[in-house]
Amino acid sequence: MNIPLYYRTIRHLKFIQIFNRIARKVHQPKIRQDAVPEIASDAAEQTAWKFCDAPRVFDGREFTFLNRTIPIKAATDWNSCCDDKLWLYNLHYFDFLKQPEYRNHPESFRWIERWIRENPPFSGNGWEPYPLSLRIVNWIKWLKCGNTPSEGIRQSLILQVRHLVRSLEYHLLANHLMANAKALIFAGSCFSGPEAEELLKLGWKIYRAQIQEQILNDGGHFERSVMYHSIILEDLLDVHQLTGARELIAPIEKMLFFLEGMTFPDRRIALFNDAAYRIAPEPDSLFHYAERLGFQHPAPLREGFTDFPESGYGRLHFANWDLILDAGPVGPDYQPGHAHADTFSFELSCRGKKIITDTGTSCYKGEERLYQRGTAAHNTIRIDEKNSSEVWSSHRVGARARILRRQELPGGFCAEHDGYAPIRHRRSWFWKSDAIEIEDEFSERGDKKHKVELFLHFMPEETLQRRSSNEFLTKSGILITLPEGGETELLPTEMGLEFGRKVPNQTLKTTFESAFPLKLRTRIAH
């Protein structure tokens, strides 16, 4: 056991996380199975529930999640040990009820009743609090499409809600606890009577506190993943539609503005930290959903630099260029589970087409997971083959890079971090004469030599041709001029734009052996 690593990881946890984790192992609460409250008289009156566009995950025979299609034939398939746990979580969400053809289809009744028969209470993936939370919400949305539940569905739904109340995810907090609270608000609005009132009260108590903590002043979600930001934004829009709560208007407006800032001209999100396409709703789907609920689309970003100081992201928008950079914390100290060692990474678009990209996220386990979280998988600098933050396991972080300085400059931006302490890494991004220039500076006392590696990852369609020892031309006509004096390799690599799917791409790696101070300059032009 690596005790120092465990200490560097655990020292940031909140007491409630440690206490709850222990309590969950030693105490199994009893769940009431007595009288079932009635469905509220207005719960199924709203027959025009407004949905955010959802991907098609069920074709009537098979389910498709994470680029894998599987039929559910037997009761054991709900918890098959042969399938990925994240895939099984998706199966238990019941997201297919959002598909227009299943909102009022008899097949939906059959699948709900089948789940009840084949997933006995309190065991299996479907009874874990996160999939439990999402399924409760989806079943209630289904009710709000005018469907009348059978007695068995009503009994199962309240049993799931009672189990959730006894298993709230205080050991994780963050987006999981927000999902739990949303489910309680939906449940409290669905049922009637004193129990429903208590559910609503508890749900709002948690939700209000978590919104204040998790939605930063610049509109970003504090886990610094635009994918999870989009998921949380859809949740807030859902709760606003359900309750009409005016207190959600301001955070929703801030989140919409942040999302616009983190969306490239191709209308896809930036892929920092844990993020991939086809998991969260697409940005334009969220904007359309928000507009249907009365919100306005955020104004276009101004030319120049737009800073999101609390989340740490920033965007350079000049002429044909859009560059989104990461100069913020890896995530909340007590829950960096979706963090990557990507400090000072960036993604770059030119003339509306993304050129340089994050490697993305294709899974949550194994060696592939470790690589995608590591510094070498991002468009930044690695020193002495160490990660800028100590990512390990699937969702753990020990020591983490701290931002020491952030400063907007004329035509650019710079920041400094201590992830390689005592070395200081300062990176500056500039727009100059229709080109992007990136300057990296390193400082340290002494004359020790270090191995410095600069990585640039390209979109799959952007094949590169070498023009000279340090110049490369992309298929789109973008000229990459790397710092002189290093050894440059053009590497065949793979990236995870979607979960469950890797695609080949190319990566430039330039290596230097040098004492500090050292200054490197990269130029990207068309």
Instruction: Read off the pLDDT of residues 484-500 as tens digits, 9 standing for 90 and up.
Output: 999 999 999 999 999 99
The CATH number of the structural domain formed by 304-525 is 2.70.98.70
Residue 456 three-state SS:
strand
Give this prediction's pTM. 0.96
The mean pLDDT of 512-517, rounded to a whole number, is 94
- pLDDT value for 450: 96
- 34: exposed, middle or buried (Cβ count in 10 Å: 0-12, 13-18, 19+): exposed
- CA dihedral of 187, 188, 192, 196, whole degrees rounded to 10: 110
Tens digits of residue pLDDT in 157-215: 999 999 999 999 999 999 999 999 999 999 999 999 999 999 999 999 999 999 999 99
What does the pLDDT look like over 294-348, one tens digit per residue?
Answer: 999 998 888 999 999 999 999 999 989 999 999 999 999 999 999 999 999 999 9
Q: What is the enclosing helix (H) or strand (E) of 202?
A: helix 194-214
Report whether 277 contacts 497 (CB < 8 A).
yes
Residue 504, token pair as written in the block: 């080949």
Residue 95 has pLDDT above 90, yes or no: yes
Closest residue by Cα to residue 126 from 149, 159, 97: 159
pLDDT (tens digit, 9 = 90+) per residue, 422-442? 999 999 999 988 899 999 999
Residues 470-475 have a mean pLDDT of: 96
Confirm if 507 and 515 have CB atoms less than 8 A apart.
no
Question: Is residue 32 over pLDDT 60?
Answer: yes
Q: Which two tokens stand for residue 396?
A: 């753990």
Residue 68 pLDDT greater than 60, yes or no: yes
Q: Give the model's confidence band at 103: pLDDT under 50 very low, under 70 low, under 90 confident, else very high.
A: very high
The residues near 109 (Cβ < 8 Å, ≥ 6 apart) are: 147, 150
For residue range 213-272, list pLDDT tens digits in order.
999 999 999 999 999 999 999 999 999 999 999 999 999 999 999 999 999 999 999 999
Task: Compute CA 230 distance to the chain's CA centroid, rounded to the nearest angstrom.
Answer: 8
Helix axis angle, 226-243 relative to 194-214, nearest 10°? 140
Report the alpha-carbon distance of residue 348 to residue 525 in Å, rounded.
Answer: 11
Model confidence at 46: pLDDT above 90: no
3-state secondary structure of 452: strand
| pLDDT tops 90 at residue 82 | no
Assigned token pair, 45: 């009156």
Domain(s) labelled CATH 2.70.98.70 in the chain stretch across 304-525
422: cis peptide before it, omega within 30°?
Answer: yes
